[in-house]
Amino acid sequence: MHRIAVLDDYQSAAAEYCDWSLLPGPVEVVEFHDTAAGPDALVARLRGFDVVLAMRERSRFDRAVLERLPDLRLLVTTGMRNKSIDVAAAADLGITVCGTASSATSTVELTWALALASLRHLPQEDASMRAGGWQTTIGGDLHGARLGVIGLGRIGAQVARVGQAFGMDVVAWSQNLTDERAAEVGVRRVERDELFATSDVVTVHLLLSKRTRGLIGADDLALMKHTAVLVNTSRGPIVDEAALVDVLRRGAIAGAGLDVYDAEPLPRDHPLRELRRAVLTPHLGYVTRGTYEVFYRESVEDVAAWMAGNPVRVIEPS
């Protein structure tokens, strides 16, 4: 009998979205509803499991962890790219890694939810209303304002088009962005300093890598207007978190809408939790019914195909 571990199932969603009856043989499924605190705890948790379903990048499977899981034969990740899995090490150890389809639209939608919540001070006004208050803040406008998009890939391009629908002037920058690519999306490429200095909303849409870790630092944030907001739905470490806390604490920018953090889940005593200028969500970019239906349905398909000896959506070492 195969033993399947479902990791980091915070909302107990697997029970609703996974149809284990589709598997071609008997299995034992164990769902874990929290994140193991470090590699030792993760290894202890997964001892005896030959199949693991990992949700996005919540748990890290580097070579050191994989070498300590001798029973593991199949590792399924939601999405076809997971920086937390050492795919080359898995291949060396005879562990098959499979993925699923994913949607970009859910993150695009949350990006705009955070931008609007930050500009219109929705958390503060909601709290004021519940306390008996009325009209305590003055919000910003989107129409006629400038949107600065950092990273014009699949998600960034969609965010840019929504900005255009709001009547915004949209500019973009990234390390490899060309004028031609910007023109394809219907926006204008500008230099980095101009984007930060002139944008009313700065939104981040980059992959986390050695090159982008800490890319946005104190100097960039210092260029921003005091009325501007920063939105990050990509990965926390792209932005220098300490520098961001500093500008928010000093009121140097109007606010930030954040869905991603250096440490996830965000520690209970983290200073961001105390800053009224920060609108915080717990990495919800991909957390929608439609996305979960795809993630979990195709995860079960991956397990079934592997059990039948014909694995699908295999992720090979790059």
> Would you name the residues annotated as active-site residues?
235, 264, 283
Chain centroid to Cα 87, Å, comes to 20
Asked if 16 contacts 299 with a C-beta cutoff of 8 angstroms, the reply is no
Distances 38 to 65, 73, 82, 261 between C-alpha atoms, Å: 10, 21, 18, 17
SS3 166: coil
The backbone torsions φ and ψ at residue 74, rounded to the nearest 5 degrees and listed phi first, read -135, 125
CA 291 – CA 149 distance, rounded (Å): 24
Asked if 150 contacts 202 with a C-beta cutoff of 8 angstroms, the reply is yes
Q: Which residues contact 221 (CB under 8 A, 6 or more apart)?
A: 196, 230, 240, 243, 244, 247, 252, 253
Per the document, the length of the chain is: 318
CA atoms within 13 A on the CB side of 295: 25
Asked if 166 contacts 120 with a C-beta cutoff of 8 angstroms, the reply is no
Chain centroid to Cα 82, Å, comes to 11
